[in-house]
Amino acid sequence: MNLTVDVNSDIGESFGVYKIGQDEEVIKHITSANIACGYHAGDHNVMHQTVALAAKYGVGIGAHPGLQDLPGFGRRKMEVTPEEVYNMTVYQVSAIQGFANIYGHRLQHVKPHGALYNMAAKDRSVADAICQAVKDISKDGSLLLFALAGSELVKSAHYAGIKVVEEVFADRTYQPDGTLTPRSQPDAVIHDPHVAVTQAIQMVREGLVTAVDGSRIPIVADSICVHGDSDHALQFVQMLRRALSEHRINVKNPTGV
């Protein structure tokens, strides 16, 4: 069995005097980077620095647009119209694309962040707005969309004719319907890196994930997310890469690099 998976991380989340994550080290172990665009985290200086890092290490450059909620790190649900979702997506993605152009790199993908990501996973109108933005930005159709595996955003992308990468989370628990357990619940995050790595391997090798109720549900694992803001992000991504290698799972970004 010849298995291949992408490893992505949400990075570029520092801003001003605030330092978040270990981007300079984590980026050496991933194949796709989701770079904060200034709404939920990041700023113009950090965006430039992070794009430069991704270009240096040959990592796929992605935009990570979120809700305009810096104090809440984009993890609080907000009432926004589809038009607002479309406009905020275009605005933020264009910022990262501008910096990528400086280094002669094409933007590889778009991945919504936090609450916007979770909203798009369930709300088709939000998902459609994001997909329309991606489609309008990418005139040649090359821009990929990262979306929660099996979600409404995946369905919307297929309907819109957008190339979609179905994403799984090693360090998050799943509900029986395939959605992520809300962070407001105590069992939402897997803190033991060994348990998280085991879950990731299961999802890639078996196409299944064990939900919080013990049921095993089908899942498509094109890409595994590593949260860059975690205190143990570097340790975890190193463990994950070793485990993938031990199970003879190739690691490449969705473009095959």
The token pair that represents 221 in the structure block: 């694992």
Report DSSP letters for 67-131, one per residue.
-S-TTTTT-S-----HHHHHHHHHHHHHHHHHHHHHTT----EE---HHHHHHHHH-HHHHHHHH
pLDDT in tens, 182-203: 988 888 999 899 999 999 999 9
Dihedral angle of Cα 176, 74, 223, 160, to the nearest 10 degrees: 90
> 216-218 and 208-210: which strand pairing?
antiparallel
DSSP-assigned beta bridge partners for residue 34: 10, 62
pLDDT digits (tens, 9 = 90+) for 113-136: 999 999 999 999 999 999 999 999
N-term to C-term CA, the chain:
20
Boundaries of every domain in the chain = 3-251
Joined together, the tokens standing for residue 208 give: 């299944």
DSSP H/E element including 10: strand 3-11
8-state DSSP, 170: T
Report the pLDDT value the prediction gives residue 231, as an integer from 0 to 100.
Answer: 67
Distance CA 204, CA 1 (A): 11
Question: What is the CATH code for 3-251?
Answer: 3.20.20.370
Q: How high is the pLDDT of residue 139?
A: 87
Closest CA to 121 of 178, 163, 79, 65: 178
At residue 233 the predicted structure's pLDDT band, cuts being 50, 70 and 90, is confident
Distance CA 134, CA 173 (A): 28
Instruction: Kindly give, in sequence order, each residue whose CB lies less than 8 Å from that of residue 214, ignoring residues fewer than 6 positions away.
Output: none
Are the beta carbons of 172 and 189 closer than 8 angstroms? yes
Q: How far is CA 117 from the centre of its chain?
A: 9
Percent of the chain with pLDDT over 70: 98
- CB atoms < 10 A from the CB of 199, how many? 21
> pTM score, two decimals?
0.95
